[in-house]
Amino acid sequence: MQKFKETIAASETIAVQIGNTNDPSKVLAARLLHALFLQMGKKSIFRSANADDRMVAFAKTLLPHTTHDVAEKENLIIKINTDQTPIEELKYEKDGATLKIILRGKNALDATHVTIEKEKAPVHLLVLVDPHDDEVEALLKAVPHADVVRLTSKTKSLLYKVLGIVETLRNEIPKDLVLALWTLVLAEEKQNAPSEELFRIKTRLLELGVDHQKVHAARETLIGPGFWKIVGRALARSEFEKELGIVWTFIPHADFEKTKHESTHIFPLFDELRHLRPEGNFLAMLWERVSENGARRSISALVGGGNIDKTRELALLLGSSLASSYFMLEGFATFSEVEIKIRSSVRKMLQ
């Protein structure tokens, strides 16, 4: 943490980046760090590979005064193939409002050997907030940077990681970050057993003042209409396979249509089911995706468990990789196809 504090102090520009996810905890944690860096006078940029209006509204309800998007700076690059077009002089001059860049070649100049490109201006520090393992390389390439820090929730949840950063960088918790931290506390409570550490965090936040109505409003914005109806249907289609320790849930596309709930906002539903059906070692939630034009249907699965090592082992057996305490499987033709694949892998683990 001390090294991180020194890195932040030395960084004028920071990019806070999440991957292609609608996981509310990841989005909120990243937005909270972005807000913190802005408070400290840093030029912070929030980047997401999956912009979503509902998720933006959710975050801004909890961080109304500190979360705003800062435009990324770009460089204009002029490239010249000097093997084909040797240059002996380069200068520039102003002609009114026009800036002229003048190149003088040793021989006749060929403009086809000159290209103009745009690139993102490098930031001093890139902060990756719990990206999927398979996304890291692409994210690093997408954002030019001098230094990088990657936060994960594989050993400890984002609540503790983010709170640790807030406490390290500030002497006390800023009041305008309290609602976002409280929301992360509520998410932590749903997934893990009570602890003294979590109780102490709750006590501190309550002493600073929690506007519960605002937190509730933010959650309503996030889950959208029809959420509890889709929860009811998902529970009705759930079953516990005791032998393998798997809670199965199957959600056809018709259930999303009838409840007017968007299948793109699957994470709040997944979290609610893990909370309501805690008896399994794993929750396997399978749902039907339909393309926008309705021409293509496929089955996806979100699989998670309380034991990170076991969840990682299962992910590897299924050719996937961990993203927090869960992993995703996509592109199956039928429910039974992915169900058989998951069941077979769990049996291998138990042998």
Domains annotated on the chain, with CATH: 2-71+122-220 (3.90.1640.10), 74-89+101-118 (no CATH), 225-350 (3.10.310.30)
Please name the residues in contact with 236: beta carbons below 8 A apart, sequence gap of 6 or more: none
DSSP 153: -
DSSP 225: T
70 pLDDT band, cuts 50/70/90, is low
Q: Of the ranges 45-54, 151-160, 262-271, 277-286, which is most confident?
A: 277-286
DSSP 45: E
Q: For the CA atoms of 228, 214, 158, 25, what is the dihedral angle to 10 degrees?
A: 40
Q: Does residue 275 register a pLDDT over 60?
A: yes
Q: Does residue 68 register a pLDDT over 60?
A: no
CB of 143 closer than 8 Å to CB of 123: yes
Per-residue pLDDT, 219: 94
Distance of CA 182 to the CA centre of its chain: 18
Of residues 107 and 214, which shows the higher confidence score?
214
Q: Does residue 292 register a pLDDT over 80?
A: no
> How many angstroms separate the CA atoms of 41 and 122, rounded?
18
Residue entry with tokens 């995703």: 328
- The residue-averaged pLDDT of 322-342 equals 92
- The residue-averaged pLDDT of 137-141 equals 91
Helix (H, G, I), strand (E, B) or coil at 240: strand
In percent, the amount of the chain with pLDDT more than 90 equals 60
Q: Which residues pair with 170 in a beta bridge?
A: none
Per-residue pLDDT, 66: 58
Contacts for 75-80 with beta carbons within 8 Å, 24 or more apart?
A: 75/118, 75/119, 75/120, 75/121, 76/116, 76/117, 76/118, 77/116, 77/117, 77/118, 77/119, 78/114, 78/115, 78/116, 79/114, 79/115, 79/116, 79/117, 80/113, 80/114
Of residues 305 and 247, which shows the higher confidence score?
247
CB of 342 closer than 8 Å to CB of 315: no
Least confident of 33-47, 86-100, 136-150: 86-100
Q: What is the pLDDT of residues 220-248, one digit of tens each?
A: 999 988 899 999 999 999 999 999 999 99
Q: What is the pLDDT of residues 159-177, one digit of tens each?
A: 999 999 999 999 889 999 9
- Angle between the 267-276 and 178-191 helix axes, to the nearest 10 degrees? 50
Which token pair is 164? 């640790």
Per-residue pLDDT, 69: 58
Helix (H, G, I), strand (E, B) or coil at 157: coil
Mean pLDDT, the chain, as a whole number?
A: 89
Closest CA to 315 of 289, 349, 285: 349
- pTM equals 0.84
342 pLDDT band, cuts 50/70/90, is very high
- The residue-averaged pLDDT of 23-43 equals 93
CB of 47 closer than 8 Å to CB of 127: no
